[in-house]
Structure 1
Amino acid sequence: MKYVIKAAKLFDSINASVIENVEVHIENGKICNISKIDENAKYDCEIFDFSHDAELFVMPGLIDSHLHLAHGGVDAREKDDRDPQVALRMYHNGIRNLLVGVTTQRDCGAKNHIDVCYREGLRLGLINGPRTLICGQPIIATGGHCTYMGRQIDGRDEAAKAVREQLQQRVDFIKLMVTGGVSTPTGYPTTPQMTQEEIEACVQIAHNNNKMVSVHAQGGIGVDWCLDAGVDSIEHGMYLTDGQIDKMVRQGTWYVPTLYAIHAIAVEGAYQEVPMSQMMIDKCAVAFKQHAVSFKKAYDAGVKIAAGTDYKHGALFEELKLMAGYGMPNEKVLQCATWNAAKMLRLDDQIGAIEPGKIADIIVVKGDPLHDISVMSDIKMVMQNGTIVVEEGRLTPTTSYKFYPIQ
């Protein structure tokens, strides 16, 4: 299929700037050319003309770099659901993310490798959803954070084996739960649960197999151990010290703050349909203010940042609003959800920008997010892999799927 998209404003995510009055040529799912609009040109393809409305903003598809599709974000009892129910919820949450412009997402853990089946369903075309990177089961200390879905380990050898088990499932990256968390009854965000030796063993095996290591590390000495081991990204990082931030800059470690996840529990947790536990609310009430401080310091210091939501689906715009509210310029915020995220995921040769050779993941926003970031909640159109999948809030469902080749 061939398309031409004409734009009054197009976001250049690589340079965090706007290009005006351009047309994007798309063929066979890829961007093949970008040029100034030629009003006299005749094209033998479908044309989407947004050039006469300065309030329509064309930009790359969004990337949510940290989420858990298995969670609905409201009812903690869902953690005990049977696997088929979890799989259905993953599909539902993926659609919610696609509707708000997320064309790529990184799922940071699910029980029993349900995420492996979800990714396969996407690959075969059985279901709609954002392109998805998976980690399988997060690796955790016995009794540690997220026991309901984690691969529990004790000792260096068991840690290495746990990584190999995830690699056997052909995961895209490895996820570790190093510190406690706001939902952990057995620890706190600043207390380490995995040992330094266990972390090192996991990183060694993952890096030997060219896989990134993403780490749930909210604060304390556990963050230092992760940085010493050479992990690729710190997730959450609510209690980062100046020394840890400095080391992240020097090592090029990525930071995915997930601001909205903590903020939402602190501010809304007691009032949602199924209230959060008082333990979680109390932890987040303390943490979310320090979280903002850590984020501001990390940005000011030059830490590489990508945007992620954690467990609230269809809400990436809420994360972007907080990032902007804490002092990051809007164009840099958009970069965190596009080009930065693509670089962190090592997919910048394929996605994250609108330029020739890239996959045609493109969204149209109603309004100018460089002036008002809140308009990121209003998505007019979503193109994924060169196909229109969402238009005016309506999903175009997949109608056929691939078959496995005959062996």
Structure 2
Amino acid sequence: MMKKIVILIILFIIINPAISIAQTIVIENINIIDVETGKIKKQQNIAIEGKNITSISSKKITPKENTEVINGADKFIIPGMIDSHIHFFQTGSLYTRPDAIDLKHIMPYEDEIEFAKKIVPDNFKRYLRLGITSVMDVGGPFSNFIIRDSVSQNNISPNVYVTGPLFSPYQPKAFSELEDIPIEKITTKEQATILFNKMLPYKPDFIKIWYIATKDIPAEKTYPIVEHIAQLTHKNNLKLTVHATQLNTAKLAVKAGADILVHSVTDTLIDNEFIELLKKNNVTYIPTLIVSKNYGKSFLGKPDNHYQDLAFANPTVYRSLTDVKKISDEDIPKGLKNLRNNEKTYLERSAAKDKIMFQNLKKLSENGINVATGTDAGNIGTIHASSYIQEIEAMKKSGISNLDILRASTINAAKGFGLDNQIGSISEGKLADLVILKNNPLENLQNLNSIKEVIKGGKIVGVSDLIKETPEQVVQRQVNAYNARDIDAFMDTYSEDIKIYNFPEEISIDGKEKMRESFKAMFERVPNLYCEIKNRIVLGNKVVDREYVRFGEKYSSVIAIYEIIDCKISKVTFLR
């Protein structure tokens, strides 16, 4: 009888691949960074069973049978990081917010929405690859709940926490005709109650208000509705997150009952009244520093080409950020033309805004306010996963310490969302969401890039094999790096034995080093270098591109046939 039961259990597991036998892991001689005390616990041993940490000790732990043992000698371990502000319904591409820049005549918004849904599992892997084991989607359509309850359960993913549509006194026209609306216009308490009750059966993890204030809609006018939503939220034991970027609006949001402010105050320097309000009400502040500037950079076709974007952003999404270069003057919206004509003024205003945000963040950090790291990923130019280190770098510019930033990225974010009993620090009983690093991030935050391994919910995810890009993605990443003139990112897409031919079989470059020398010289010598893909055909491991290439003032049309093996370009044949 027992034998039959065992056989049935095995068959059940095979039929249901989402169910797996608990993995046991022991990490030996690791240096634990205690984000709460700021101290390093040297040569510790960590035992993990199932999803949780079961033991932490300086004494050697005898592994059980079938235990995976990780040698942590000379390495460092931190809690899995948390992005406390993202939006899955947005991809980060140039076309993802038609209310900000209307390019629906180039990319139909319906296509962009479908693309956003399609790449969610890909985004999951990119978050995990960069050590981000929890994400908070702070507002989107009802399909957010499908992402949390279904998509994340059937794919390797970070912990996903979501809410539904944003409550807002203002609704962009671009969203008003959608079947699944991400931002609902709420002008009465009755409307707020209806939306809240519609959302409640889906069990939102928190609630979000887009507290937009204008001359026509002053914050004081909509305050009673915000207060009403806060009361409904707290009555149901949920946290209230609020978008409020003006000091007056942010103060009103906190007085109304906000638990989390998801953006910086940007219109002026904060005062002591605001600090005391945050302290008194135990409010978490998410500075979200880079998102606004990224809109402008994308509109100008001048993204930063940060190494994280070139290496880890979804290549198709990142490609779109230079698409403005190929849009004809007739197709460019008026607002974009105005920005181009007033670029200097825009950049000066952007720099002034940065200065205010940095000073406000430093002052709040110095006064003990709970600060959490959040990117607002999904907005134009702020790409899922790859934007996280960029946000951390911006926080560093404000002058706060490495430890405070690491806390903001782990335990502070967990505390802000009421999850510090589950995630955010390395403690017995908590989820085994862990990141093993080669180097110490307290010494240099760039060491957060020295990831050796990621453990998610007690399972080793295998960072080296986590992202398996398609041949098309590999080729597009190569094009992105080419346009960025980044020789390292460009060459990273090629195999060591790369061969480049002129059609049909005339070899022009043999080997990676020769190729590096040739292209490095071109990147340094040629101005206005830009490659536009006119057409693309994908055939198995081959990608055929019709490329329109600008070299200074000259233009060239070429056919490139790429062959990809093991996620690297191994052969290119050019037809000129």
- TM-score bracket, normalised by the shorter chain, equals 0.7 to 0.9
Q: Give per-residue Cα distances to partners, 1:150-177, cap 9 Å, x unaligned.
A: 0111122212222222223221110000
Which residue of the partner structure matches residue 384 of structure 1?
Answer: 456
Q: Give per-residue Cα distances to partners, 1:7-42, cap 9 Å, x unaligned.
A: 442111222221110110001111110111539x56
1:75 aligns with 2:108: no
Which residue of the partner structure matches residue 173 of structure 1?
Answer: 206
Which residue of the partner structure matches residue 554 of structure 2?
Answer: none
Which residue of the partner structure matches residue 141 of structure 1?
Answer: 169
Alignment partner for residue 143 of structure 2, among 102, 114, 136? 114
Larger deviation: 257-266 or 229-238? Answer: 257-266
Give the length in aligned residue pairs.
384
RMSD: 2.8
After TM superposition, the structure 1 = structure 2 runs for residues 3-402 of structure 1, keeping only pairs within 5 Å, are 3-38=25-60, 41=62, 43-44=64-65, 45-51=67-73, 54=74, 56-77=75-96, 80-82=109-111, 83-111=113-141, 113-122=142-151, 125-143=153-171, 147=175, 149-179=182-212, 192=219, 195-239=222-266, 241-242=270-271, 243-265=273-295, 270=300, 271-272=302-303, 273-274=322-323, 277=336, 282=346, 284-311=350-377, 312=382, 313-314=384-385, 315-392=387-464, 394-395=466-467
1:193 to 1:261, Cα distance in 2 relative to 1, 3 A? farther
Q: Give per-residue Cα distances to partners, 1:338-391, cap 9 Å, x unaligned.
A: 111111111111111111111111111232111110222332211111001233
Q: Does structure 2 conserve the Cα–Cα contact (< 8 Å) formed by 1:21 and 1:37?
A: no
How big is the shift at 1:121?
1.8
**Using the alignment, how far apart are the partners of 1:159 and 1:78 within structure 2?**
24
1:71 to 1:297, Cα distance in 2 relative to 1, 3 A? same
How big is the shift at 1:137?
0.7
1:128 to 1:193, Cα distance in 2 relative to 1, 3 A? farther
> SS state of the match for residue 375, structure 2?
coil
Which residue of the partner structure matches residue 546 of structure 2?
Answer: none
Higher relative contact order (CA 8 A, sep 6+): 1
Q: Does structure 2 conserve the Cα–Cα contact (< 8 Å) formed by 1:10 and 1:19?
A: yes
1:143 to 1:92, Cα distance in 2 relative to 1, 3 A? same
Provide structure 2 residue ranges, at least 5 long, that are not aligned to the other structure: 1-22, 99-108, 177-181, 304-321, 325-334, 469-576
**Using the alignment, how far apart are the partners of 2:276 and 2:162 within structure 1?**
29
**Using the alignment, how far apart are the partners of 1:75 and 1:241 within structure 2?**
32
Q: Does structure 2 conserve the Cα–Cα contact (< 8 Å) formed by 1:368 and 1:375?
A: yes
Amino acid at match of 1:257: P
**Using the alignment, how far apart are the partners of 2:38 and 2:87 within structure 1?**
28
> SS state of the match for residue 263, structure 2?
strand
1:245 to 1:379, Cα distance in 2 relative to 1, 3 A? same
> SS state of the match for residue 353, structure 2?
helix
**Using the alignment, how far apart are the partners of 1:306 and 1:121 within structure 2?**
27
> What TM-score does the superposition give when structure 2 sets the normalisation length?
0.62
Q: Does structure 2 conserve the Cα–Cα contact (< 8 Å) formed by 1:8 and 1:22?
A: yes
How big is the shift at 1:263?
4.3
> SS state of the match for residue 324, structure 1?
helix
Q: Give per-residue Cα distances to partners, 1:114-159, cap 9 Å, x unaligned.
A: 1111001245x31222111111111111336985620111122212
Q: Give per-residue Cα distances to partners, 1:193-227, cap 9 Å, x unaligned.
A: 97101101111111111111100111142212211
What percent of counterpart residues are identical?
25
Provide structure 1 residue ranges, at least 5 long, that are not aligned to the other structure: 181-186, 397-407
1:327 to 1:286, Cα distance in 2 relative to 1, 3 A? closer
How big is the shift at 1:392?
2.7
Amino acid at match of 1:61: G
Which residue of the partner structure matches residue 3 of structure 2?
Answer: none
1:142 to 1:322, Cα distance in 2 relative to 1, 3 A? closer
> SS state of the match for residue 104, structure 1?
strand
1:16 to 1:279, Cα distance in 2 relative to 1, 3 A? farther
Which residue of the partner structure matches residue 184 of structure 1?
Answer: none
**Using the alignment, how far apart are the partners of 1:145 and 1:200 within structure 2?**
26
How big is the shift at 1:261?
1.8
**Using the alignment, how far apart are the partners of 2:189 and 2:339 within structure 1?**
32
Q: Give per-residue Cα distances to partners, 1:220-260, cap 9 Å, x unaligned.
A: 42212211111101111233521222211222111011112
**Using the alignment, how far apart are the partners of 1:176 and 1:145 within structure 2?**
18
1:17 to 1:37, Cα distance in 2 relative to 1, 3 A? same
Q: Does structure 2 conserve the Cα–Cα contact (< 8 Å) formed by 1:106 and 1:132?
A: yes
1:143 to 1:379, Cα distance in 2 relative to 1, 3 A? same
